[in-house]
Amino acid sequence: MKYEHIGQLINDSVTRFADLPALRFKKDGEWKTLSYAQFGEKIQRLSAALIKAGINQGDAVGIYSANRYEWAVSDFACTQIGAVSVPIYATNTMEQARFIIEDANIKLVFSGNRDQYNNLAAVHASGIPLQVISFDDYPDANSDFTQCFQHFLDIMDADDYEDERNRRSDAIRSGDLTTIIYTSGTTGNPKGVMLTHANLFHQMECVDANFDVSSDDTSLCFLPLSHVYERMWSYYVYFKGAYHAYLEDPKQVIETLQELKPTAMVSVPRLYEKIYSAVMNSQENASAIKKALFKAAIATGDKYNNLFFRDQPVPTGLKVKYKILDALVLKKVRAVVGGEKNFFSAGGAPLEKSIEEFFLSCGLLICQGYGLTETSPMVSYNTPQNFKFGTVGKPVPNCDVRIGEGGEVQVKGPQVMLGYFNNPSATDKVMENGWFKTGDVGEFDEDGYLRITDRIKDLIITSGGKNIAPLNIETRVGKDFYIEQIIAIGDKRNFISALIVPAFESLEEWAHKKKIKFQDQEELITHPHVVDFFRKRIDEQSKKLAQYETIKKFKLLAKPFTMEGGEITPTLKLKRKQINEKFQALIDSMYNKKDQE
C-alpha cells in the first residue's frame, strides 16, 4: 500500500470516487445512499469535532454499536487524527463494556441503540467519567455527558481545525496503533489486541493480490464491525471504490441479500449452513420427480462448475445440460442469496466440506480462510484461482506458517499484532521469537493447503485415551436443519455425548404436522417421537465420523446458549468450561456407572 495510514486511504478514495455511491443505510424503513464525497465530508467534520472535544493523538475512542454507517464515519475520523478506535461488541453487557472502557482508558464513546446508551449511562453513574456521543437522538438523554451524533458533527468552526488535522495526519506512521480489539475469550477477561495500520494494509494487499473487486461491486456489511474480519474487508471495499450496505440487524441477512443483491461479501459459516440445511430440508418432502431433478442438477453443477471455476474446458454436451438444469433448479438456489456472486468468503469457524461443494454446484464459490484477531485476521485463504474444499487454503502472501509442538499452528508475518494492551504477560505466552502461537491444531496436506482440526484446549481426551476434536463433530452434525446449537461432551468419559438446542421454529412446524401435542418447548423436547427424530438425524449426519467420534447419547435443551447466560462469546464461540459446569448434572445423567466401566 502506498499509504502511511488508513486515514490517507479513505481520503484518496473520496477524491478518486467522489461521485460514486459509497454506502447504503436504512432509515425509517427506506434505504438511503451517501456518495464518496458526502461520506468524506462527514468524516472530515467528525475529525474536527473530535479535536475540538479534546481527543489527542493516541487517545482511545470507543465505538459501542451494531453496524451502521455512523460506525464507519467514527472509525475513519479516528484514523484521520491519530486516535485509537476501540470497538465494543454491540451485545456486550454493561460490565463487559465497563471493563474495556477502564482497561483502554476511554474517555469518549460513540453509542448505538438505547440498550448501549443505557449501559454507558450506568458506567458513567458508577464513577467513570465519560463523554457519550449517541448515534440516535434521545430527548431524555443526560446532556451533562451526552450529545447527539448529528449535533456533535455539525460544528460551525470545522475549518478552524483543518491545519491541526493535517498536522496530525502527517505525523501518523504505518507502525502506529490503529485499533485495540478486545477478543471475546472463552475464559477470563478479554484481551486487547493492538493492531497497526501496517497490519491492516498487509491484509488488504493479500486480498488485492488474489480477488477481483472494483467500483462495480456491492457488498453487504452484516458481520459485526467490532470484529477485525468485517472491519478489514470494509477498509478494502472503500479502497476499491465499491458500494457498502450496512445491516444493523444480522437476523435480516437473508431478506437483505435478496433485496440488495451484493456481488461480494464476507460471512461466517452459519449463514451458509442455514441456507444449505433449508434447501436440503425442502427436498425431504419433495415429490420423486423434483428430487430426481434436484439430484441431477447438483451432480451436473458439480461437474460443470468444477471445470468452469478452475478455468478448464467444458464439453459442449455438459454446457447444454447445465444450462437447462441451471434454469430449472440452480438459479433458484442462487436467488436465495441475491443471485450471482463474484465470490463469498467464509471465516471465523470451520465450514463443512459438503456445504462448500453444494454451493459450488449451484455456481457460488465460497473461499474459506483462517485467521485470528491477533493476525489481523488472515493467516491462510482459498482464492478463486486456488481453492481446495475441506481446507482453509494456503498461507497468504508474505506470511510464514509452521506446525509447532502438539500440532499447533504458528504464524510469523506483517499481520501479527503488536501485542495485548496492558498485558505483557499474556503477550509473552503467545509470542516466541516473532512467532505467534495460535492455540489451534492444524496440518498441511500434500498440496500445501492448511487444515485446522481444533483448538488445543478444546480437544477431548476420552477415558480410553482417544484424542477427539469436538469441532469436527459439531460442524458435521450441527449443519442439520433442525439443530441450532450443539456442543460435544466426552473429556475423561468413555464415549461422546452432546447437548443440543433444536431450531425450534422448524421443530414446532414439524411437530404440528405430525400432530404432536405440547404445551411448551420443555414438553416438546421430551416427547419420545421428538427424541427419536433427533436420534435418526444425528446418526444420519454422523456417517462420515469414526465410530469413537459418534454421539452415543444426547440431551435436548429448551433454551439456547446465550452471552447473557455466559455460555457463548460475542463471536458465538462456545464457552466449553462454563457449559460443562453449568449443565454438569444433566451431563452426568448421560453417563451412569455402568457406562463408565
Residue 497 C-alpha cell reads as 455425548
Average pLDDT over residues 52-69: 97
* CB-CB contact of 477 with 551 (8 Å): yes
d(CA 533, CA 527): 10
Peptide bond into 528 cis (omega under 30): no
Higher pLDDT, 156 or 259: 259
Q: Per-residue confidence at 185, pLDDT binned at 50, 70, 90?
A: low
Which domains can be identified in the chain, with CATH numbers? 6-172+211-257 (3.40.50.12780), 267-455 (3.40.50.12780), 459-596 (3.30.300.30)
Contacts with 66 (C-beta within 8 Å, 6 or more apart), sequence order? 90, 112, 113, 224, 248, 249
Q: DSSP for 453-470, please give it.
A: EEEGGG-EE-TT--EE-H
Contacts with 588 (C-beta within 8 Å, 6 or more apart), sequence order? none
Q: Per-residue confidence at 99, pLDDT binned at 50, 70, 90?
A: very high
Computed over every residue of the chain, the mean pLDDT equals 94
By mean pLDDT, which of 26-30, 44-48, 188-192, 578-582 is the weakest? Answer: 188-192
Q: What is the pLDDT of residue 563?
A: 85
Q: What is the pLDDT of residue 596?
A: 46
Contacts with 587 (C-beta within 8 Å, 6 or more apart), sequence order? 489, 497, 499, 555, 580
**How does pLDDT run across 299-358, given as a tens digit for each residue?**
999 999 999 999 999 999 999 999 999 999 999 999 999 999 998 999 988 899 999 999
Is pLDDT at 594 greater than 70 in this prediction? Answer: no
Q: Per-residue confidence at 186, pLDDT binned at 50, 70, 90?
A: low
Is pLDDT at 285 greater than 90 in this prediction? Answer: no
d(CA 348, CA 440): 12
